[in-house]
Amino acid sequence: MKKIAAFSILFLFVFAFWTCSFSSKPDGGLPKLNDWPDAQTMNQKIGRGINLGNALDAPNEGDWGVVLQPGYFTAIAKAGFNSVRIPIRWSNHAKSTPPYTIEQTFFERVDWAINQARKNNLTAIINMHHYLEIFSEPQAQKERFLAMWKQIATRYQKQPADLIFEILNEPHDKLTPDLWNDYAAEALQVIRETNPRRAVIIGTANWGGIGALNQLQLPKDSLLILTFHYYSPFHFTHQGAGWVDGSDAWLGTTWSGTMQEQQAIRKDFDTVNNWAIAHHIPVFMGEFGAYSKADMDSRVRWTSFVAREAEKRGFSWAYWEFCSGFGAYDPNTNQWRPELLHALIPEK
């Protein structure tokens, strides 16, 4: 009986340790390495997602009209989405001099967003978004870039596997494809010091599109997920967008879903798919959407076609974005725009 009792106590101790290892708290225990899912499994968990854009990626949350609310995460989960991508402008909340300390209050706000996702059984992706300085002065910002990732990775190293890191949103300008290959590899090395088994998303240079795909050199790492952003045809998806020069001239551009229009998208997706197969990496379409200045019927047709074609190839995806200029959700009425929602999550 003493042996049985001792074994029972040991079993309970081991079970309690294993359970705690998946704590949702930032200071929870680390899961064992062999308990972590592989990249393909994590990409499947991303599934159908949505970007919580214009909030934590604004210079300060609220500057662009979006402040994250608990109800947003609940609405996303209830609508049938599997994940949220949380764009984050860390660079506006970190010192510009060594050791480039990230503000504690900002970290706590990110903690809150991650925990809201987990409470609603949503896989969460956090990235480094709108890091404008590194695009214009990459060499001068490299040390800061890596230091911020060291802090982020250290803070979240004990989070469960359902938190995914994305290294940098849409590298471009002077952060050339060759430089980006080096910077991405070094950032991944920093992340792996504290997160050896966490899925990490890596994208392409030249604004994250498919044009720079063949210039991307993947680090040797089996836990990577490739991301690309898709806004083609650009004159349709960005008509009337105030941040794009000359876009007012494109107003009235429609997308009818003709055979030629559909084939252009299929060709692009086949290019990505073939590259991914050759490099043994799963694919996440991290952004796609059509701006609200386009007519709703065209937006719905395009959104539905893009999402279904991505799914046919096994891509996970995240719509851009939740409740702002591209938004599928109306924050004034706290209601989904039903046509866009159904284009993204078809009724069964």
> Is residue 76 within 8 Å of residue 319, measured between CB atoms?
no
In this structure, the number of other CB atoms found within 10 A of the CB of residue 242 comes to 10
User: From CA 118, how far away is CA 235, in angstroms rounded?
Assistant: 37
Report residue 95: phi and psi, to 5°: -60, 150
**Which DSSP category does 240 fall into?**
T
Instruction: Output the CA–CA distances (angstroms, integers) from residue 310 to 194, 216, 284, 303, in the order listed.
Output: 32, 21, 9, 11
- Active-site option among 170, 261, 309, 321: 170
Cβ atoms 196, 33 nearer than 8 A: yes
Q: Which of 261, 287, 309, 321 is catalytic?
A: 287
Q: How far is CA 82 from CA 35, 78, 207, 212, in A?
A: 21, 10, 25, 28
For this structure, is 103 an active site residue? no
Closest CA to 291 of 238, 247, 253, 339: 238
Please state whether beta strands 283-288 and 224-230 pair in parallel, antiparallel, or not at all (unpaired). parallel
| Long-range pairs of 63-68 with CB within 8 A, sequence gap ≥ 24 | 64/324, 65/324, 66/322, 66/323, 66/324, 66/331, 68/113, 68/116
Q: Look at the chain and count its residues.
A: 348
Could you check whether the bond before residue 321 is cis, i.e. omega within 30 degrees of 0? yes
Q: Is the peptide bond between 99 and the residue preceding it cis, with omega within 30 degrees of 0?
A: yes
The tokens describing 98, both together, are 């060594």
Q: How many other C-beta atoms are found inside a 10 Å radius of the C-beta of residue 257?
A: 14
**Catalytic residue status for 170:** yes
Q: Which amino acid is at 164?
A: I
Q: Would you name the residues annotated as active-site residues?
A: 170, 287
